[in-house]
């Protein structure tokens, strides 16, 4: 398992890219909330960026997850992959409830039967909830005795760990820190106008395959779901806040676990 340290403390507001091996997207923020907002734009090629100082935080000093917590949390993390329009789509997910796995929507977009690797085995899952605006999806799978990870609200300044698989399927624990909560709104994963999502700005060095990975705190609870990073410049990533997962859980329950539309493929 590889370990990587987080980068310098900075805010990047342009040049976003998603982390599934074959995808790219962008979000735009506007001031319709009390949360700090940033304007973000993505591109499938090298982007430009502007930087600013991260607001200071008065949050108490906290400890990130220790090895025992990480080992326990890793048992609930899954690798997600499938054949998309022209290439394999690879990402990460985690067990959020018995029989349900959360991942990023762009990881499974257009996939009718994504594969997941969990608990040493590989199985075919079904998409039972899909939201291209929040960039979240729920997969139905046999999670067996694997424990669901608890969800909790993030705190600015707290150290966290990203538990992710890279594009080659290798697990990596990435030391990170929550910079601040933001409201990211604008385009969905297909580039269409959307209502946006509650997100987190995170100091972390992440890469392809990491999309959908959980950000876990010192107790092993999930505070966010990774979906994007800046291209070039300081190491800043973005995660969806866990409050965005609740509507998807309600959708899956209302649907009785039946397969949902996973949208269109997102070509390179």
- Exposure pattern of 140-152 as b/e (b: 16+ CB <10 Å)? bbebeebebbebe
Q: Which pLDDT score is estimated for 268?
A: 59
234 and 153 both lie in a single domain: yes
pLDDT cut 70: percent of the chain above it = 75
Q: Is residue 266 situated within a structural domain? A: no
- Per residue in 67-106, pLDDT tens? 999 999 999 999 999 987 778 899 999 999 999 999 999 9
Q: Is residue 198 situated within a structural domain? A: yes
- When divided into structural domains, the chain yields a total of 2
* 39 touches 184 (CB < 8 A): no
Query: Above 50 in pLDDT, residue 53?
Result: no
Q: What is the rounded distance in angstroms from the CA atom of residue 84 to the CA atom of residue 68?
A: 36
- Exposure pattern of 23-54 as b/e (b: 16+ CB <10 Å)? bbbbbbbeeeeeebbbebbbeeeebebeeeeb
Q: Which pLDDT score is estimated for 88?
A: 86
Q: Is residue 178 situated within a structural domain? A: yes
36 and 159 both lie in a single domain: yes
Q: Is residue 261 situated within a structural domain? A: no
85 and 57 both lie in a single domain: no
105 and 93 both lie in a single domain: yes
Q: Which pLDDT score is estimated for 257?
A: 87
Q: Which pLDDT score is estimated for 70?
A: 97
- Per residue in 119-159, pLDDT tens? 999 999 999 999 999 999 999 999 999 999 999 999 999 99
Q: What is the mean pLDDT of the chain?
A: 80
To the nearest 10°, the Cα dihedral for 209, 214, 216, 219? -130
Neighbouring C-alpha atoms within 13 Å toward the C-beta of 173: 19
17 and 95 both lie in a single domain: no
Q: Which pLDDT score is estimated for 41?
A: 37
Q: Is residue 166 situated within a structural domain? A: yes
232 and 123 both lie in a single domain: no
Q: Is residue 179 situated within a structural domain? A: yes
Q: Backbone phi, then psi, for 108, in 5-degree steps?
A: -110, 10
173 and 204 both lie in a single domain: yes
Query: Above 80 in pLDDT, residue 51?
Result: no
Q: Is residue 260 situated within a structural domain? A: no
Q: Is residue 220 situated within a structural domain? A: yes
136 and 102 both lie in a single domain: yes
Query: CA dist 33 to 11, 36, 153, 184, 194, Å?
Result: 19, 8, 17, 10, 15
129 and 153 both lie in a single domain: no
Q: Which pLDDT score is estimated for 40?
A: 44
9 and 85 both lie in a single domain: no
- CATH code assigned at 13: 2.40.10.10
Residue 3 tokens, joined: 């370990």
Residue 1 tokens, joined: 């398992």
**Helix, strand, coil proportions of the chain in percent (round to 5)?**
10, 40, 50
Q: What is the rounded distance in angstroms from the CA atom of residue 142 to the CA atom of residue 150?
A: 18
174 and 59 both lie in a single domain: yes
**What is the pTM for the complete model shown?**
0.80
Which residue intervals of the chain are DSSP H helices? 67-74, 105-108, 245-254
236 and 166 both lie in a single domain: yes
Supply the range of the domain harboring residue 201.
2-63+149-244
DSSP result, 12-47 = E-S-EEE-STT-----B--SSSSS---B--B-SS--
């Amino acid at each position: 398992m590889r370990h990587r340290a987080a980068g310098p403390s900075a805010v990047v507001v342009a040049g976003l890219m998603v982390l599934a091996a074959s995808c790219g997207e962008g979000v735009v923020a506007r001031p319709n909330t009390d949360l700090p907002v940033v304007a973000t734009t993505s591109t499938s090629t090298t982007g430009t960026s502007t930087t600013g100082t991260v607001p200071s935080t008065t949050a108490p000093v906290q400890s990130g997850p220790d090895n025992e917590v990480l080992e326990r949390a890793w048992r609930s993390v899954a690798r997600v992959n499938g054949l998309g329009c022209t290439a394999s789509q690879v990402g990460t997910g985690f067990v959020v409830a018995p029989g349900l796995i959360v991942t990023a929507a762009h990881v499974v977009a257009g996939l009718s039967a994504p594969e997941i690797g969990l608990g040493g085995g590989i199985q075919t899952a079904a998409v039972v909830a899909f939201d291209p605006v929040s960039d979240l999806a729920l997969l139905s799978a046999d999670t067996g005795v694997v424990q669901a990870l608890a969800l909790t609200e993030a705190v600015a300044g707290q150290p966290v760990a990203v538990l992710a698989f890279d594009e080659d399927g290798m697990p990596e624990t990435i030391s990170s820190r929550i910079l601040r909560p933001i409201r990211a709104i604008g385009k969905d994963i297909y580039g269409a106008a959307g209502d946006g999502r509650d997100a987190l700005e995170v100091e972390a060095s992440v890469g392809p395959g990491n999309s959908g990975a959980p950000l876990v705190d010192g107790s092993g609870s999930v505070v966010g779901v990774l979906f994007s990073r800046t291209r070039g410049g300081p190491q800043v990533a973005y995660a969806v806040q866990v409050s965005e997962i609740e509507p998807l859980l309600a959708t899956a329950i209302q649907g009785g676990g039946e397969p949902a539309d996973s949208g269109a493929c997102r070509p390179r």
